Amino acid sequence: MARLRLYPHRMAGADSVSWRSWWIERDGSRSILPSIFTSWDYASEETVGISVDFDEEALLKSTGLLSVHELEILAIADCTLSQQRFVTRQTLAGYQPGIPIDAPLRLPRGQLAGTMSLSGHLVLARTSQPRDDQVAYQRGARIHSSVPFVVRLEGTAGRFPTEAVPFSELGFGNSPWSIVCAYDQLSDSFMGGIRLLINTEHPIGRLSLEATAPPWVGRMLRMELMRLLIAEAAEQVEAADELSFEEGSISLVLQQMCKFFLGKSLKAAVRAYRDEPAYFERLLHDQLDPLSGVTA
């Protein structure tokens, strides 16, 4: 059943604010954010956003406000599975009539999974003196909101939470990254049983955390993670008569990763790892091409 929200102040008229489609920005290029995002990268930061158009005259007339500069835009991402909320504020200080305002939202690595709900809100930027005629005056008062946009995240990169830590505190040596596995069965939750650790004391580890890191760093990390994940799961995969692929399980996520990155099932990848290690290494390099771009 549709819900009717009642506010104690005047809202923007329906035709005075126009929210455009949510977008994602990668390598300086923007594209429409799909509702089922199959190329989501759980191990990288992402920037999404929404753009807003105003009919300034209609907006001020319907709200009773004196200037659009009294307002700001909130872009919000909510993830039920990880119980996380991410918010960005965009002022209208540089607003020019006829030019849409962008509200970019940075999503940190490893903290979103399953689905996220995106919403944009036009709110009062600061508290002023109480006004007549039900004009909003308290900071944060919502003047207009977009329709929530729910995105299903189907990542093809490592689907696990990520943590940046100094490896000297863990006794992990000088590796740039590693994984920690804490699961009993392949049917356990991937999000709860596997964690990617990035070594903040290693130059390549630190580089992998930078948004401007060269592409080969991410490819090298992805290749080594595939090797580690398959190695950790190999014994249980070989011992299982039949694998069950429940939603969110370790077996399902590994199956999807193996098919996408290696073109093989999880069982076939494990057999190659155990029985033909040289072929398995060639397969990783051939399919993931981690060193592409290292040399000119």
Tens of pLDDT along 44-58?
Answer: 788 999 999 999 899
Q: Check residue 2 and give its pLDDT.
A: 42
Side chain identity, residue 263: G
Q: Give the helix ranges, DSSP H, for 20-175.
A: 56-63
Kind and range of the H or E run holding 194: strand 194-199
Q: Check residue 210 and give its pLDDT.
A: 79
Low-confidence ranges of the chain (pLDDT < 70): 1-6, 41-43, 81-82, 110, 154-161, 211, 295-296
Is residue 196 within 8 Å of residue 225, measured between CB atoms?
yes
Side chain identity, residue 172: F
Bridge-based pairing of strands 36-37 and 149-153 is parallel
Task: Report residue 198 as tokens.
Answer: 């990035």
Bridge-based pairing of strands 162-165 and 194-199 is parallel
Residue among 150, 157, 135 at smallest CA distance from 218? 157
242-281 b/e with 16+ CB inside 10 Å = b?
Answer: ebeeeebbbbbbbbbbbeebbebebeebbbbbeeeeeebe
Q: Check residue 271 and give its pLDDT.
A: 95
How far apart are the C-alpha atoms of 139 and 89, rounded to whole Å? 13
Q: Check residue 5 and give its pLDDT.
A: 61
How far apart are the C-alpha atoms of 64 and 10, rounded to whole Å? 7
Q: Check residue 158 and give its pLDDT.
A: 45
Q: What domains sit in the chain, N to C, each tagged with a CATH number?
A: 17-153 (2.60.40.2550), 162-288 (no CATH)
Is residue 197 within 8 Å of residue 175, measured between CB atoms?
no
